[in-house]
Amino acid sequence: MTDATGPAPTGRRELGVAVVGHSFMGKAHSHAWRNVGAFFPDVPPVRRQVLVGRDPAALKTAAERYGWADTATDWRDVLTRDDVDIVDICTPGHLHAEIAQAALEAGKHVLVEKPLANSVAEGEAMVAAAEAAAARGVRSMLGFNYRCVPALALARQLIAEGQIGTVRQVRASYLQDWLVDEAAPMTWRLRRESAGSGVLGDLGSHVVDQLHHLLGEPVTTARGHLRTFVPERTGEGGREPVTVDDAAWATLETASGVVASVEVSRMATSRKNAFRIEVYGSTGSLSFDLERLNELGVDDRGLDSAGGVRRVLVTEADHPWVAAWWPPGHVLGWDSTFTVQAAELLTAIAEERPATPSFADGLAVQRVLDAVERSAAADGCRVDV
């Protein structure tokens, strides 16, 4: 049971979960909560208690399909329930701040899908709420699931160990094509009031978080350019303006002088979900492609070696998180990252420690995205984060 003063001791007590939202991310998170105990048996057991959505018919279908015990059409009702310990927020961005702050105040542990919020101000309020809740033993976590890709976790480890020397530059792109067709309909993701920003917040947030996570230092300056290629789309009420970006470009610099070139787009024809990162150091390099997410390109043999880049298949038991899954060579999928994410939150709850990535990590990303937008509005001038 939880209350406004903090949660009861966890131990091996079963924790009730409520997921708010049941479309794309709600489905992915439901899959994770269903499987987390099978692959990570040492975490506290969970119960899929409540699935929340606005359309009763669609909600009932989703709850039955994903194995939820109960449903609710108002997220506020979930916060008063003694059988809910964790609130997992998979809603459009404009709802993140209100739901998260209310859930934390009610003593519920909270997981929020990225990006953290629709603005820096909302993010700051969420961080303050998380810090106040942490003092009462209530945990919060942000859903940057790509931190849970074993190959990227290995890349972070190799960088920290100095295996490629001093990092000098990074190239990162995240390209999709689902808006290439000008007849594609209007959605909440194309309205600033619901999404906060376009591809910059949606895909760019993943890129910036990986820069912070891989390099272990924040971005400090930004130059940016935004473009909306299709300015109007057809919605239920007819034609309406697209008020967010379709594509974004940025040059980012960290405190130590690492320069990162970033490109994100929903208009990249033939690219379905192409997230690629190249990290170049003084003695070697690393490369990653989400479409081959079990592989990491590694050149760490030094400048005198003619070996070049080698393919590391990140499926060995000593690689990050892999021991929970399959024998070597049996690859993981995109969905596995959400299961690891759920396990990380449950472990933090059980160990009574902060969970990562934190709301503060999300706010750091939000500040970079805001700097890119401010730079774009000033014709690409350099802006401090």
The 10s digit of each residue's pLDDT in 188-203 is 999 999 999 999 999 9
pLDDT recorded at residue 359: 98
Same domain, 141 and 157: no
Same domain, 178 and 309: yes
Is 2's pLDDT higher than 90? Answer: no
Q: What CATH number does residue 128 fall under?
A: 3.40.50.720
- Could you say which of 76, 111, 145 is where a domain stops? 145
pLDDT cut 90: percent of the chain above it? 94
Range of the domain at 242: 150-292+294-328+364-377
The 10s digit of each residue's pLDDT in 238-279 is 999 999 999 999 999 999 999 999 999 999 999 999 999 999
Same domain, 137 and 247: no
DSSP string, 162-199: TTT-SEEEEEEEEE--TT-STTPPP-GGG-HHHHSSSH
Same domain, 242 and 171: yes
Token pair for 85:
């310990």
Same domain, 121 and 242: no
Instruction: Give the model's confidence band at 303: pLDDT under 50 very low, under 70 low, under 90 confident, else very high.
Output: confident
- Provide the domain count of the chain: 2
pLDDT recorded at residue 3: 37
Same domain, 165 and 300: yes
Same domain, 259 and 368: yes
pTM of the model: 0.94
Q: Rounded distance, CA 171 to CA 275, Å?
A: 11
- Could you say which of 112, 129, 145 is where a domain stops? 145
Q: Is residue 345 situated within a structural domain?
A: no
